[in-house]
Amino acid sequence: MSSRILNRALRDRLMSADEAAALIHDGDHVGMSGFTGAGHPKTVPLALARRMDAAHAAGQPFKIGMWTGASTAPELDGALARANGVDLRLPYQSDPACRDRINHGDMDYIDLHLSHVAQYAWFGFFGKLDTAVVEVSGVLEDGRLVPSSSVGNNKTWLDQADKIILEVNAWQNPALDGLHDIYYGTALPPHRQPIPLTRPEQRIGEPYFRIDPAKVVAVVETDHPDRQTAFSAPDETSLAIAAHLIEFLQHEVKAGRLPPELLPIQSGVGNIANAVLAGLNNGPFQGLSAFTEVLQDGMLEMLESGTLKSASATAFSLSSEALARLNADLASYRGRLLLRPQEISNHPELIRRLGLIAMNGMIEADLYGNVNSTHVMGSSIMNGIGGSGDFARNAYLSVFMTPSTAKGGRISCIVPMVSHVDHTEHDVQVIVTEQGLADLRGLSPKKRAALIIERCAHPDYRPALSDYYQRACRGAPGLHTPHLLGEALSWHQRYLADGRM
């Protein structure tokens, strides 16, 4: 295994996961690698969780602040949450145990735009970073690091932390070497310069992380797979959503508002987003490109078929079958596929410049086009805003998708007023459900409401939404965005009380 560690000094710092975890202490801020189940450390966090359990059993406190790129996996988020060892988590999670801790009030969580995290760390907004625990797929002779299957915030953690613990994972494909584009041109205001990227597949950085080897306190060898995300097969609902969206994009091409090969696409996490990609793969468009955050199964299939000519992301988020296919053929993707730091993959400047088509899932939307992507019934976190806000606000076209109902029809995903706002009406241009698509561009709030009810709401909830809207138009104190404030959240209250909206 140590053939992956070519630097003599770092090889001398090889130790066990338990020994490495002993270098992390109660109250530390720890920056971990990991993004959507790819590239997270696999053994040090488990050893750390064991230390936390032992400390708690002895009546001693042991909690850390844990910062990552995005979501990780059971052996990181899950293990530390079960050990109740995280005081503050940021910026994104999707682990059931972690979610439970947050929603039960045992763990604080800051849900952040993913493009903001690195710069906030540089600005000092989160305090000092004590330790970086970063998975890499190799160490070069001169000490530079070959990144693994996600880049996320690793560059920032490696630069900012006082101490570095490396996990060198032999499971990661050696062909990852050369696939990354690590940009070192970011500076702090007022010294920032334009980021010189004008095409999605363009390289502007270098393939490796630079580090100060003196900061490396431990190197741990591992041989463990990434999480591997299971996607459900596209069903009737997701296929209908995909069909509406593709018809809309065709219409936009015909109208001359999009070129025939579209503009670079961004696609969010989740089953619906993945199904839309499957729809695009079978659809009429060719020669597409992606400037996105995660490369999920649907996008890999598009690369395989040639529908997608290139993809730029910050991480993989693949099922085991898709991962096996990618790993078997990774070298052949050189030049068509690259992974960047998340501050670049999600950078507002680049998203605006390239003119992306952003397609993200949501939990609910309201009559006026405000979107909730993160909170169930206003107060329980699901995952987090992730990159959806980075993309939605700055894209050429921002699309949000959801089935029109959830929980077997007991919840309407179109509600009078969203119970939490992630994307305001100003950032949402298109809403799609299996019922249809509402193109909100250029419409006033009242026109939007009528269209969203007609096109997107489920027929079971349409009459009640129309009734609310009509009464709001008669009884609201102002008629720009008519609401009956005493009633606007009554749908959510009814669900909490009776189990049905």
Residues with active-site annotation: 293
- Asked whether position 270 contacts ligand 0RQ by CB under 6 A, the answer is yes
- Asked whether position 152 contacts ligand 0RQ by CB under 6 A, the answer is no
| Residue the block writes with tokens 């050893």 | 47
CA-based nearest residue to 269, from 157, 347, 374, 426: 374
Among 219, 362, 428, 453, binds ligand 0RQ (CB under 6 A): 362
Among 43, 153, 169, 271, binds ligand 0RQ (CB under 6 A): 271
- Asked whether position 311 contacts ligand 0RQ by CB under 6 A, the answer is no
Structure tokens at 81: 């949450």
CA 221 to chain centre: 27
**Residue with Cβ nearer ligand 0RQ (43 or 148):** 148
Structure tokens at 451: 């269209």
Query: Per-residue x/- mask for ligand 0RQ, residues 47 to 76, rule CB under 6 A?
Result: -----------------------x------
Question: Beta-carbon neighbour count of residue 471 at 10 Å?
Answer: 13
- Asked whether position 382 contacts ligand 0RQ by CB under 6 A, the answer is yes
Least distance (Å) from ligand 0RQ to the CB of residue 386? 2
Among 41, 403, 416, 436, binds ligand 0RQ (CB under 6 A): 403
**Residue with Cβ nearer ligand 0RQ (21 or 241):** 241
- Asked whether position 411 contacts ligand 0RQ by CB under 6 A, the answer is yes
Q: Which residues of 331-369 are buried (b: 16+ CB within 10 A; e: fewer)?
A: eebeeebbbbbbbbbbbbebbeebebbbbbbbbbbbbbb
Torsion of CA 20, 26, 31, 35, to 10 degrees: 90
- Asked whether position 500 contacts ligand 0RQ by CB under 6 A, the answer is no
- Asked whether position 264 contacts ligand 0RQ by CB under 6 A, the answer is no
d(C-alpha 32, C-alpha 232), whole Å: 29
Feature table: binding site: 363, 383, 387, 407
Question: In 347-449, at which residue ranges do the beta strands (DSSP E only) sit?
Answer: 357-361, 364-366, 371-372, 375-376, 380-381, 397-401, 405-406, 411-412, 414-415, 430-433, 436-439
Task: State the sign of the Cα–Cα–Cα–Cα dihedral 251, 257, 259, 264.
Answer: negative
Structure tokens at 264: 């670079």
Cα radius of gyration rounded to whole Å, the chain: 23
CA-based nearest residue to 186, from 222, 153, 143, 217: 153
Among 360, 394, 398, 481, binds ligand 0RQ (CB under 6 A): 360
Least distance (Å) from ligand 0RQ to the CB of residue 406? 4
Question: Is 332 within 8 Å of 370 (Cβ atoms)?
Answer: no
Question: Beta-carbon neighbour count of residue 61 at 10 Å?
Answer: 11
Question: Beta-carbon neighbour count of residue 160 at 10 Å?
Answer: 20
Contacts of 247 (CB under 8 A, 6+ apart): 437
DSSP state for residue 77 in the 8-state scheme: I
Structure tokens at 346: 């999600």
- Asked whether position 115 contacts ligand 0RQ by CB under 6 A, the answer is no
- Asked whether position 370 contacts ligand 0RQ by CB under 6 A, the answer is no
- Asked whether position 494 contacts ligand 0RQ by CB under 6 A, the answer is no
**Residue with Cβ nearer ligand 0RQ (35 or 208):** 35
HSE toward the beta carbon, residue 30, CA cutoff 13 A: 31
d(C-alpha 186, C-alpha 189), whole Å: 10
Stretch that binds ligand 0RQ, among 1-9, 16-24, 131-139, 407-415 (CB under 6 A): 407-415
Question: Is 149 within 8 Å of 315 (Cβ atoms)?
Answer: yes
Least distance (Å) from ligand 0RQ to the CB of residue 480? 26
- Asked whether position 364 contacts ligand 0RQ by CB under 6 A, the answer is yes
Structure tokens at 380: 């329980």
Restricting to residues 274-303, name those near ligand 0RQ by CB under 6 A: 293-294
β-bridge pairing 315-317 and 308-313: unpaired
- Asked whether position 265 contacts ligand 0RQ by CB under 6 A, the answer is no
**Residue with Cβ nearer ligand 0RQ (405 or 481):** 405
Phi and psi torsions of 74, nearest 5°: -55, -35
- Asked whether position 33 contacts ligand 0RQ by CB under 6 A, the answer is no
When CB distances to ligand 0RQ are compared, the closest residue is 386
Task: State the sign of the Cα–Cα–Cα–Cα dihedral 409, 414, 416, 421.
Answer: positive
Stretch that binds ligand 0RQ, among 145-153, 250-258, 385-393, 434-442 (CB under 6 A): 385-393
Among 128, 254, 407, 500, binds ligand 0RQ (CB under 6 A): 407
Structure tokens at 33: 């690698």
Stretch that binds ligand 0RQ, among 1-9, 248-256, 263-271, 481-489 (CB under 6 A): 263-271
Least distance (Å) from ligand 0RQ to the CB of residue 2? 33
CA-based nearest residue to 262, from 354, 348, 342, 195: 354
β-bridge pairing 131-139 and 145-147: antiparallel
**Residue with Cβ nearer ligand 0RQ (230 or 324):** 230
- Asked whether position 341 contacts ligand 0RQ by CB under 6 A, the answer is no
The number of residues that bind ligand 0RQ (CB under 6 A) is 30
Least distance (Å) from ligand 0RQ to the CB of residue 257? 24
Stretch that binds ligand 0RQ, among 24-32, 147-155, 253-261, 376-384 (CB under 6 A): 376-384
Among 186, 388, 394, 404, binds ligand 0RQ (CB under 6 A): 388
- Asked whether position 272 contacts ligand 0RQ by CB under 6 A, the answer is yes
Applying CB under 6 A, the residues found at the interface with ligand 0RQ are 36, 70, 92, 114, 268-273, 293-294, 360-364, 373, 376, 382-383, 385-388, 403, 406-407, 411, 413
